[in-house]
Every structure is written in structure tokens, then in C-alpha cells.
A and B are shown apart, each in its own frame.
Chain A
Amino acid sequence: EDKVVQSPLSLVVHEGDTVTLNCSYEVTNFRSLLWYKQEKKAPTFLFMLTSSGIEKKSGRLSSILDKKELFSILNITATQTGDSAIYLCAVENLVGRGAQKLVFGQGTRLTINP
């Protein structure tokens, strides 16, 4: 059974701290790993990772994938209160007839206190 596990499930830090969110996976037909940020409504896309060891970076956020050990991390440096959200990790894999589905982890609820 395809599985994606995130840790921690919840994290509370102070503004300015650096955080690392973890995502491990076991799926068949792996295509890519995606990170989303979900504030109150729809998940919004952050990163897509397909190759091991290549860091993706956007401002204070960065992510890397290890396809040998089957995990990814999402780093956020100099956190701000606006970073408070649920961060979702998902793995994209093939289903029938060329379509793809996402298998999501449970999410990490990140709270940044001023």
C-alpha cells in the first residue's frame, strides 16, 4: 500500500527560528514528490522534486529529495508568522491509463509565534 508519512505532525516555534519538516514515502511507480502549503483553504504548490540531491529553493524555503532513502525535507529559515500553515507532502505516482494521483501525508501543522 502506498504510504507517505510526515513528521512532526505539529510544530510550534518562535519567529526567526529555522524549521525542518520531514517526509518519508513508500510508493510504487514514483514520479515526483511535491510540497504544498495550506493556510485555510486550497493547498498551494511550493515545490516539485524529481531528482535526488538537487535542492529547490524559493526565498526562505528550500527542499531536497533523497530517492535512495525515500525521504524529503522542507526547510524554512528566518520564519515569519505568515509561514503558519499546514505543510503537505505528496508523492505523485501513476494510476491507470496515464493519469497520476497524489498520495498525501498527514501534514505538519506549523505555528510561528511572534
Chain B
Amino acid sequence: DAGITQSPRHKVTETGTPVTLRCHQTENHRYMYWYRQDPGHGLRLIHYSYGVKDTDKGEVSDGYSVSRSKTEDFLLTLESATSSQTSVYFCAISESRSYSEAFFGQGTRLTVV
């Protein structure tokens, strides 16, 4: 299995609290992505990173921020969690631009109550 770890794997938090999800890789891959998966929507891109300190927004970035201070870590932060952010979050990594070589993490199930 590719060296990609998401933490925590499960989290329940209250509305209005900040939450940070971590994606850690040991593959030294350049590209990292955060997706969320909701019933009826498939997976949707939140933010992505081309490299250290180089990030950009995806299609559902409102309410989320990211940081990548090291190649191996890509953090997703919900500044003030809302119930609409209850979802399963997947991180993906890729050395090349092609997703045929990308690997997905095991996912983080976040519940905002």
C-alpha cells in the first residue's frame, strides 16, 4: 500500500469549533489533494497542492483552508465547523499530474453536531 495516512480516522465535533485533518505521506509525492464524499455527489475537490507552500482552491473550498509547510503533510482546516461539513474526507497523493498514479487515503469521517 502507498504510504498515505489520514488522521484522525473518525471525529465528532460541535458546530462552531475549529477542526484540522491531517494527511501524511511517505512517498515524497509532489501533488496532494483533499476531497469530500457525500451521498449523491461522489467526491468533490476542496483544495490541492503543487508543492510546499503552494496550494489552490478546488470546487468546494468555502469554509476550508489548507497548509503545506512540508512535502509530507497537507492539513485541512475547518475554521468554524458547520453541520454541512459533515462528510467523509479523502486525501490523495500523486507524483505526476495523472490520477492513474494517484493513491487515496483511507478517509476521515467527520460528524459536526
Q: Pick from B12-20, B72-80, B97-105 the stretch touching chain A.
A: B97-105
Size class of the B contact interface (CB-based, 8 Å): 20 to 34
Q: Tell me whether A99 and B107 are in contact (CB under 8 A).
A: no
Size class of the A contact interface (CB-based, 8 Å): 20 to 34
Task: Indicate which residue in A31, A95, A101, A107 contacts B42 across the interface (CB closer than 8 Å).
Answer: A107
**Residue in A32, A43, A95, A98 with the greatest tally of chain B CB atoms within 10 Å:** A43
CB interface residues, A 73-114, toward B, < 8 Å: 88, 90, 92, 95-102, 104-107
Q: List 25 A-B residue pairs with CB atoms under 8 Å apart, sorted by A's residue number.
A: A4-B42, A32-B99, A41-B106, A41-B107, A42-B103, A42-B104, A43-B90, A43-B104, A45-B100, A45-B102, A48-B100, A90-B43, A97-B50, A97-B56, A98-B50, A98-B97, A99-B31, A99-B48, A99-B97, A100-B99, A101-B45, A101-B48, A101-B58, A104-B44, A106-B42
Using a CB–CB distance below 8 Å, which chain B residues touch chain A? 31, 33, 35, 40-45, 48, 50, 56, 58-59, 90, 97-100, 102-107
